[in-house]
């Protein structure tokens, strides 16, 4: 499992985790698309925005490997702002390649991505 050096471990001042320390011995937690409903708590919304900002600052428009990014946090963005690169994408693979869907991310998090 690739460890993304320099990537923030969590949202500052909270327990919202962004990365994991080690791979799961029982199996990799698969990425799934989680729906973000309008009634989500403000703290959850800040965590999503903080994670998106960390992804943007660390990877930009480049393709990146899932590696040690937290599956739960990533799943809140997966399928919309973060998309699979490969057609044969395996949601349970630490080496799966992802990228930010810039147009969708910009629409969802305009304060984070901003205009081109």
pLDDT of residue 5: 86
pLDDT digits (tens, 9 = 90+) for 24-62: 667 788 999 999 888 889 989 999 999 999 999 999 999
- From residue 45, give the alpha-carbon distance in Å to each of 3, 38, 77, 108: 25, 10, 11, 11
d(CA 51, CA 77): 9
**Residue 20: inside a domain, yes or no?**
no
- Give the count of domains, the chain: 1
**Residue 39: inside a domain, yes or no?**
no
Q: pLDDT category, 99, cuts 50, 70, 90?
A: very high
**Residue 88: inside a domain, yes or no?**
yes
Question: What is the domain range of residue 102?
Answer: 44-113
Residue range 63-73: mean pLDDT, rounded? 92
> Is the predicted pLDDT of residue 65 greater than 90, yes or no?
yes
pLDDT of residue 109: 92
Q: Percent of the chain, pLDDT > 70?
A: 95
């Amino acid at each position: 499992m690739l460890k993304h050096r320099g990537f923030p471990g969590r949202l500052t001042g909270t327990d919202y985790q962004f990365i994991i320390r080690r791979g799961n011995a029982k199996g990799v937690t698969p990425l799934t698309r989680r729906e973000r409903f309008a009634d989500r708590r403000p703290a959850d919304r800040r965590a999503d925005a903080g994670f998106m900002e960390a992804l943007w600052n660390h990877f930009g428009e480049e393709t990146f490997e899932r590696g040690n990014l937290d599956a739960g946090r990533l799943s809140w963005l997966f399928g919309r702002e973060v998309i699979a690169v490969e057609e044969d994408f395996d949601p349970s693979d630490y080496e799966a390649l992802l990228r930010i869907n810039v147009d969708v991310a910009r629409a969802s998090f305009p304060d984070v991505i901003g205009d081109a």
